Structure 1
């Protein structure tokens, strides 16, 4: 890439010269004489074929607006009063109020839920600008829903990726092919797992700017990406639309918005005029309007782009067969037993192979993995759905599973995206309780007490599992009758419950983050002798502790002598 913003990007750290370099690089890549493949990617850089959209592409590599930010920095606090001229830079820095609010609310939510991602709202603004011109210049209602649907062209393989319908037209009104939908231009198959409810109305609507901005934030923060790191930032942007031009353009707008923005009234923003799917030199409609929802199977005109009818003499083209069309069934590709302890990562990953009727491998096919059941296990990045493209051997390897705290069995369902007639494949997995295999006291002081008194020291133990700290492990402590009889003793030392009553078995104990467990105070009745306290944990770790109740030792006390008599 021609423009670099340092090893780690910090808010406000890049200079105007660097931003200008990014714009210059992008301008050069879009100039005459550059041969482009699909989605605005230079052919020399290895453009993807129409049927090989990236595994988790938010937009399916749909077209985007290519207008560049002004070369000069915007005024961070421009005056927009009556009679005050607004420069082009100031105008471009304006973001419709509701859309700007959605970007900032999404950043705030991600700062809480995924603080390690370091998502700047300006990145959402940059993508929103490039994808839809900030919801067509902020044409949204009071709830943030676009007043007119914003749809990309149908992804029929004719100059774009080929993605057959995955939602039966529920989001895009097209039951033949998918189309990118809404202000952040999600394709239906991605929205199915990435969608979020950003405005709290109980719905996940790709046409709502709050829902779409929050979904985009989570999408960019998956896989543990840290967006303050240049490499992770680039990977996240390219996963949204797999094009070097797109990356350069988004980075340019990101730097531009970092230097200052301001709010403008909803509906007053200008829509960009140039798109990546336009012929070079085409003159855009100066006042484009968002397209109307298409009828199923129909192609909507691209925003600001003429949609001429083909000559009557042109024969209708047949739909090309894609790798997806050749898939007959899915087969397991050697997945081992899927089990993990609560809170741990699964050691094994799911591998699924797409095959023809003749059991031949099919590459470049999208496989969607969905977690089903009462579980809080997720894929890496916190998602419950992941889409992966099969490699040349026909195999798609799902992201690693991360167990939550909920134990029990669940299912991972694998399907071929775009082929509802191909049976899915189920993988069964399970999460076991956190366990410890070793318990040890943290001190070696003898535990003694006099009859009717209380023990001076509390029992504290440390739990480990395979040498590592065993945190959040359930434990039970019982005062037992003997080493060979683990039933509860009815005499000797005891604990007290909240009401002060005698208790000789404690359940529901849990080790802390350091694997430590400190028991409540122990008391003694009038019975003397040696008693046993047994502590057990999930996983089989057991420790037996001796407790001694004895009368005070008076043998060392001097015996007072009687006074001599005269």
Structure 2
């Protein structure tokens, strides 16, 4: 359903004339682009290349089919609780199939790392996926994220659609005469040749895999260094996917809807949209007030209209007997599609064809696969990793099931890589091993929850404990005598070094207290003191932290009129202590004996 740039549908002489005038006006306002070597975005050597931003015809792709259903006016349903049971689905339900939702979020995380300036929200991928394929036909995907049958659009032979001759020898669409849009995000083969990505790390780039397709769509939307947090760039990016005002408004409507809230539902339980843009005579696009944003200016200043782009006319006509239904799942013939419009009243809904249960369907429960006590010091990586086993109701292991591990609550503990969630496929023994956890600076208990992606079964909770950083030794870094005259200021500040097992102990909590005596840790109420923000005497400082090198430099010390030798004690988390002598004496007098009390 995505647009193929540089080729437009022809709806009559009047439409062509208007389009030509628009193209001429837009072309005059654009700087000339660098031409691509071939009509399909390939160089003369045949290698696939990503088109430059300014190349090709900047005009619209015409009447590309896509689902036109708009979200309901009411706010999205809140995420159901674990005890609420299955979610009842409606035609515009906010729930997204679990594996499909996981793919969108994983693509967002990948783009956040590789193209942080793009600010791609996963909700945009969800909105496009809704409009393009109804979220992979309601989440009919296997454990790897591959659709249970290919999603293939109509052949683009110029009969009611754009004319795009074969570019992949039928590799993806099964058609060696013309191209067809393929997969849940509806890429045409010539675009997939340069935009395809491996989103599930299986070594393949498959347009029928939701992980691959979602990551490819993310890169496609970010390819011109657009900032999708900027509304103008967001519009340009969507229009570069399918250059249609109605398409833009539909995608923006779902984007805003998903931003208000959504939740995952089991794979295969989603419902398909019912209205399509190629059946407007019978299913016009709704214009419900408040259901979506108003129509914006559709002239992208960064046109992104390259040959081989997201194909114009890449969405299929309704399947026989199913107006507005999902794309065809079998390779098309080379004969032109019938021109008879679909009936105005859709037939009764029929259940999907029976398919063999996937491994995910057989999971009855999750079990702890030998995970021991999870404890780590703040800032360090947990040595123990979480292991979860997927089992049937008879206790048999279930392989090739996706397990999602999620760090819950207000904590800065994350998995290595900085993410609070990770999805792992179970191995032959049914076990999924989570990535290592890295303890944050917030101490205390952390909960990690394991759930099955694509199936509602009770989750499994693991408790991890983050302990504070500690030091076993603390020493002064200098040996200067710490002396002061009554009512004066000590010339030198106290600086200490905290270590643990001989290495610097950074970010360790410490306390500094003026004590009464070596064997009396009560606070001394006379002699040296620190100052607070109001310049009032303070004789205990808490909440101190050593720096990354284990060093701590205390604030300046002052003396009242009491002379004598006083004691400052520095104590760190972990129990390391240091006692420092402070002398207050009149100028030119011998050092007084240490005080023993107050």
Q: What's the TM-score, normalizing by structure 2?
A: 0.50
Aligned to 2:460: 425
Match for residue 226 of structure 1?
none
Which of 323, 326, 329 is 1:300 aligned to?
326
Kindly provide the CA deviation profile for residues 58-107 of structure 1, in whole angstroms up to 9, marking residues without a partner as x: xxxxxx999999xxxxxxxxx9328999886299899xxxxxxxxxxxxx
The one of 338, 347, 352 equivalent to 2:374 is 338
Aligned partner of residue 36 in structure 2, secondary structure? helix
Offset at residue 462 of structure 1 (A)? 1.4
**What residue number does 1:524 align with?**
559
**Post-superposition offset of 1:388:** 0.7
Residue of structure 1 aligned with 2:509, choices 468, 474, 492: 474
Counterpart residue number, 1:351: 387
- Equivalent runs, 1:94-493 vs 2, <5 Å: 178=97, 187-191=100-104, 204-207=123-126, 237-240=197-200, 242=202, 244-245=204-205, 269=240, 287-289=313-315, 300-301=326-327, 318-420=354-456, 422-493=457-528
Shift of the alpha carbon at 1:409? 1.6
Aligned residue for 2:429, secondary structure, equals coil
- Tell me whether 1:502 sits opposite 2:537 in the alignment: yes
Mapped partners of 1:406, 1:260: distance in 2: 36
CA RMSD of superposed structures (Å): 5.6
Q: 1:474 to 1:174 in 2, by over 3 A?
A: closer
2:153 corresponds in structure 1 to none
Secondary structure of 1:239's partner? coil
Contact 2:4–2:61 under 8 Å retained in 1: no
1:290–1:338 distance in 2 versus 1, CA, 3 Å: farther
Q: Look up the match of 1:80.
A: 27
In structure 2, the partner of 1:98 is none
1:285 and 1:305 in contact (8 A); partners too: no
Deviation (angstroms), 1:489: 0.5
Aligned length: 375
Distance 1:511 1:325, change over 3 A: same
CA shift for structure 1 position 195: 5.9
| Aligned CA distance change for structure 1 residues 368 and 503 (closer, same or farther; 3 Å) | same
Q: CA contact under 8 A between 2:471 and 2:499: conserved in structure 1? A: yes
Query: What is the Cα deviation at residue 528 of structure 1?
Result: 2.5
Cα distance in 1 for partners of 2:354, 2:430 equals 26
